[in-house]
Amino acid sequence: MIVFGGTLGAVLIQFPLPVVTGALRRLAGIFFEPGATLESAMELLVTLANLARRYGIGSLDAELGTIQDPFMKEVLMLAVDGTEPQELRKIVELELDN
């Protein structure tokens, strides 16, 4: 209790309360991601794959505005821009590793 209390006291002295509460909210966000479910991601991927198959990869450009996930949006922008599949895979793997 002394270690945790001392650490909390030192942090509160060093940083303003809104910064500390924001950091705690972000820390909680690491463990609990609100709103993101595997089912919704799979449905989005299936929908986008069907659009690309029917109308071509360029048709996904119109869907970019509706995508909330920044990672998915970046990957789709690269795909629509015509990035080679091998290069796209390297970029995505690097992004996931980081």
> What pLDDT, in 10s, does the model give residues 46-95?
998 898 899 888 888 888 888 888 888 888 888 888 889 899 899 989 98
Burial class of residue 54 (count of CB atoms within 10 Å of its CB; 0-12, 13-18, 19+): exposed
Q: From CA 54, how far away is CA 11, in angstroms rounded?
A: 56
At residue 34, the pLDDT reads: 64
Report field, pTM of the whole predicted structure over 0.85 = no
Query: How many residues make up the chain in this entry?
Result: 98
Cα end-to-end distance, the chain, whole Å:
35
Q: Domain residues of the chain, as ranges? A: 2-31, 38-97
